[in-house]
Structure 1
Amino acid sequence: MIKFQIVWHRSIFYFFFAIQTLLFITHCKGENFSNVCDPQSKAFYQTIFLKFALNDKSITCGIGPFPGKEITSYSIPSLGISGIISDTNISLVSDTLSSFTPLVAKFTTTGESVSIGNVTQTSEVTANSFSSNLIYTVTATDGTSKDYTVTLTAPRTYGGSSLVLWFKADSLNLSDGANVQTWNDFSGRGNHLTQVTFPTRQPVYRLNQVNGLPALNFSQASLTSMSYSGGTGFSSINSGSFFLVFKMPQTHPATNLLLVGSANGREINIGASPGNELYLWRNGSGLTPPSVNSIPVTTFIAIASVQNTNVSWQEYWNGDLKGNATSNIESYVTGTDGSLSNGNMDGDVAEFFFFDSALSQNEIDKVFCYLRAKYKLIATTKSCGI
């Protein structure tokens, strides 16, 4: 069926292209092309039409070349990372950077010159600090310009270097349908997730789940779960920031997403369908007021839960603030053991973070900027921080 649709679409395209070409040749037949640059002649407009049709950017009748002012590629070779260019935003992420020092970018451009402020930028030469977003101005040959915002997301530096869990499905090099026994932690803390005791409870690796990237499938029927023990870097009593890129099915039970600390620890849950509200529990004890929003199902979404001591708790979707509780906020004891799902999760997980602190709004924006670019997620906010 898919092959038939492709052939059908191509047939339509070739049919109309042939008709357009025939009309163009018929219209041009007998036309005087001795002065194609005379704006009063039909030949002039036919020549310009053909120039556009053939994507000819050379000078013709004083028209062209068409000035370029784009950045067409961007990377930081010393970190081994490449940027995702979306409109005039360029997003990069480093899973190793723990502090900011000047870095040299490599880029290609169609413009005549590139600058940041009054400083000319030369690819593979000019060093800049990426602790704040950089505004690159690309100037064309005709003097017009376009600005690009470059954001380097460096999670290990956020929240006073409080990142303790970071897992990415695309870090695994597995075949589709393979069971996952170990999921390595990219926080730098070594808090790896494993499921060794019960192989039938291991999540399943699935290719091409969101923007061409993989995800791990968790099933309640299989009691899928992974856990860590002897975790390092956990110290906060109450504050914490959790980010998750995942998808739930239309119908699902109450779902445990993450448990940090088994005794009175932080437990992040989603209510059973059709409610789908985000809950923040103290394991075995209290409940922070749940969200009043129903999280979308059957599509990938990045959600975040950010708690600042026992003063406030915010909920975000793809970077959009969806809720802010300021009363009856529970206290938590962060332990050195925890789990991703306790066996009742139905859904697919592409990536998640846990910071042992409340991130600033600027840091929250930068994490979501990275996640939106990587997974092509939609939000009202376009903020990539400052």
Structure 2
Amino acid sequence: MSEPLAERIRPKNLEEYLSQDHLVGDKGSLTRQIKKGIIPSLILWGPPGVGKTTLATIIANESNRPFYTLSAISSGVKDVREVIEKAKNSGGLFTTKNPILFIDEIHRFSKSQQDSLLGAVEKGWVTLVGATTENPSFEVIPALLSRCQVYVLNPFGKKELNQLLIRALETDQQLQKRSIELKETEALLQLSGGDARKLLNIFELVVNNQESQSTITITNDLVTGLVQQNVVRYDKTGEQHYDIISAFIKSIRGSDPNAAVYWLARMIEGGEDVKFIARRLIILASEDIGNANPTALVIANNTFQAVTTIGYPEARIILSQCVIYLATSPKSNASYLAINKAQQLVKQTGDLSIPLYLRNAPTTLMKELGYGQDYKYAHDYEGGFIHQEFMPDEIQNTKLYEPKNNQRENSLRVFLKKLWGSKYNY
């Protein structure tokens, strides 16, 4: 049986590797380390199909090191220990040629599995290279994460994906036996979602379904029609992972509990990580609901704690309750917009001087320099409020938070206007 196209044209060196110039370009951080032969333990974080496994293999080849690989899906603690033992015997202790141990989908390793790696990484028996589609801050234990450099791989853009298709046509021996014209590629690129492996799989599917044609002309209609007949089931390791979580979040944001629960069911049936779903609900509760209903964040956080403790299958009920609550809650992105504006303001204005009366004065010298002088302690005044300026002089009266039109934030608008008058006159 023939290898898939993605395997047949997998890059074998840095010169063939597409994209990720910030890591492996001429001035990339990894390029410099590879050339020096000093490779730290690292974690490659990025969406599916951006070349994490390929890059790990190239690092091993370019640095001339033994290469061992494990998949977190099928490997247990025993497998980890066996591979580490082999690596110890094949590499030198504390040398620049110690073996590379590549662990695909390291976020799926349990705490005990990750703990079993610590000693080997600390003692220099192996250089760990982990690949993950999930935020390593959440999925990798702190002790292991602190011993690794984290490198972010970006999704492929239109330019890189088109280059990949052309490379496949020019270098793959099986495709060269056919007469293939890339007339239109928009459908291929759209369906790939930036996943190079998925792009090549779809491309090969289309080509193989035209065996009777002497000349194959790739058009958007041809691609769309074939893919609709070969719908791929939800896969939490990639494929529809990002599309379904996007539809899920947008359904809650759009206040449609029916759609939200449907997409939730799709993820549950696909075996999605319960903590991944719950974390997204916490973010949404603040980003899309915020102070329109502050209880939403409490509910979402409690949901995360509950489903982490309970697990499947009962966690589905707790998730459903939370999803319906969030979907039927009033919405506001005012907090999200406020912090975006504030960060942009900081980038534009830099480190503005903090007014002296707002500064901390823990020492006698600081007090003599005027730190903290003329500060008005709000609780000393009627109603626990007194007019004073809290912004740097250069940006006084700048509005960052603007309440949305909902019951809760309308009351906040009235409250702020009562306190500040025209300063908060929305």
- The interval holding the TM-score normalised by the smaller chain is under 0.3
Task: Specify which structure has the higher proportion of strand.
Answer: 1
The structure where helix makes up a greater share of residues is: 2
- Where relative contact order (Cα < 8 A, 6+ residues apart) is larger, the structure is 1
What is the TM-score with the length of structure 1 in the denominator? 0.22
